[in-house]
Amino acid sequence: MKIHIKNGRIIDPKNGTDAVQDLFIAAGKVLSVGRIPDAFHPNRVIDASNRVVCPGLIDLSARLREPGFEYKATLESEMQAAVAGGITSLACPPDTDPPLDEPGLVEMLKHRARSLNQARVYPLGALTQGLNGKRITEMAELHDAGCIAFSQANAPLSDTNVLMCAMQYAATFGYTVWLRPQDVHLAQGGVAHDGEVATRLGLPAIPSCAETIALSAILLLAKETGARIHLCRLSTAEGVEMVRQAKSRGLAITCDIAATHVHLSEMDLGFFDTNCNLIPPLRSLRDRDALRAGLKDGTIDALCSDHAPVDDDAKLLPFAEAESGATGLELLLPLTLKWAAETKIPLLQALDKITHTPAKILGINAGELTPGHAADVCIFDPQRHWKIEPNALKSQGKNTPFLGLEVQGRVSFTLVEGHVVYES
């Protein structure tokens, strides 16, 4: 299968490319950018005039809800949502039911995902058995089964000794440990940022120091153990500053935030909008601005969808009883573009946060259009306006705080390994 993508604006952050050029694909790989290879006879020509052609997006956190939560979403529905959102590789957290703490479960998930022939799925193995925060998992076995890194997801890990051992053990094999910093006790029962809105609405709150106290423990242990740490879903201004300092001291850490948190704050809870029941909580405007600044200056390496489809029944409850999470796979691109437009950041730099850099964090050979690499490509219309509505989403999860919002940027084609897996 040979594909000729012509007249598109190729944006490839890895190679610093931003120019209208043609892209040539053969045998599942990028063959050439710009210059037509000799004797190239394409099976298909895709006209990408007025479109952006970029590497397929890499999402660092998407819950596919299998195994265990098939009533919320299935692999089929969510993989379709991923490619409809231009995502060609995604990491899925281990908080399934049962959690991804056994090689068999991981192999099954990988197998199921591969058979769908859509986006590539990279499972994160559970850091502790059953995510119970007590005993570490068979990380080496899990790695052999296909786990790309190890994570505690949102499950508590209150025992600092277990955390240190997990990091030491992971460091032994060179595995990265993904952690979302949150002190269990300070966050207990909380559902909203400890600020003006939670005070007004009378919602149990999570103070910012729940994040920073856990973060400082993680940073100190990272130094102590030499483990490679990826910090997930930062939410506070103080947290961003701590990561900035740690990086400037040369600590090997990376860090992501959810695309929702770039745009929203506690104010968006309005009158108990359960779509804004998220983990971590939406914090103050000051925190949101600090996240934006950190994203711009590189303190925060990547943006992720933090996709967590929730069924309606679990949201039609009083705020604190509602399940956390929002659909995100199909919003990652438009929310990234919205951020770029609002902060006047060039597309080349913005797309880096959802292509090349997350690929580096995962340690996978993706997120770039270098000849010889797998042809995972996203072609989108940057001008196209669309309204975020339940029936505009392929994901089985229809809940998002952005319902009703008009956004810009819609995927036209998604290619994985040189095959068109989505076209609008």
Partner 1 sequence: MHSNPQLSKNGELQHLLTIEGLPATLLTQILDTAQSFIGVTEREVKKLPLLRGKAIFNLFFEPSTRTRTTFEIAAKRLSADVINLNISTSSQSKGETLLDTIDNLEAMHADMFIVRHAQSGAAHLIAQHVAPNVHVINAGDGRHEHPTQALLDMFTIRHYKREFANLRVAIVGDILHSRVARSQIHALTTLGVPELRVIAPKTLLPAGVENLGVHVYHDMQRGLKDVDVVMMLRLQSERMQGPLLPSAQEFFKYYGLTAEKLAAARPDAIVMHPGPMNRGVEIDSSVADGPRSVILPQVTFGIAVRMAVMSILAGN
Q: Which residues are catalytic?
A: 306
Nearest-angstrom CA–CA distance, 313 and 97: 19
**Contacting partner 1 within 199-228 (CB under 8 A):** 199-205, 207
Q: Contact region for partner 1 (CB under 8 A) — 51-59, 117-125, 188-196, 391-399?
A: 188-196
Residue in the structure block whose two tokens are 């049962």: 98
Q: Looking at 34, 98, 226, 270, which residue binds partner 1 (CB under 8 A)?
A: 270
Q: Looking at 318, 346, 363, 390, which residue binds partner 1 (CB under 8 A)?
A: 318
316 binds partner 1 (CB under 8 A): yes
Q: Looking at 76, 107, 141, 273, which residue binds partner 1 (CB under 8 A)?
A: 273
DSSP states of 1-32 as a string? -EEEEEEEEEEEGGGTEEEEEEEEEETTEEEE
Q: Give 156 or 207: the residue with its C-beta nearer to partner 1.
A: 207
198 binds partner 1 (CB under 8 A): yes
Residue type, 374: A
What residues have CB less than 8 Å from 355, skipping those under 6 apart? Answer: 13, 14, 54, 55, 56, 57, 58, 367, 368
Nearest-angstrom CA–CA distance, 339 and 335: 6
Q: Contact region for partner 1 (CB under 8 A) — 13-21, 103-111, 191-199, 298-306?
A: 191-199
Query: Distances in Å between the alpha carbon of 225 and those of 168, 243, 320?
Result: 5, 17, 37
Nearest-approach distance from CB 108 to partner 1, in angstroms: 31
Nearest-approach distance from CB 158 to partner 1, in angstroms: 16
- Dihedral sign, Cα of residue 324, residue 327, residue 332, residue 335: negative
Nearest-approach distance from CB 314 to partner 1, in angstroms: 10
Q: Give 130 or 204: the residue with its C-beta nearer to partner 1.
A: 204
37 binds partner 1 (CB under 8 A): no
Nearest-approach distance from CB 284 to partner 1, in angstroms: 10
Q: Looking at 159, 209, 252, 272, which residue binds partner 1 (CB under 8 A)?
A: 272
Q: Looking at 85, 195, 280, 328, which residue binds partner 1 (CB under 8 A)?
A: 195
Query: Distances in Å between the alpha carbon of 193 and those of 23, 91, 284, 330?
Result: 46, 27, 7, 26
Nearest-angstrom CA–CA distance, 22 and 33: 6
Does residue 38 contact residue 360 with C-beta atoms inside 8 Å?
A: no
Instruction: Provide the binding-site residues for partner 1, judged by CB under 8 A.
Output: 194-196, 198-205, 207, 270-273, 313, 316-321
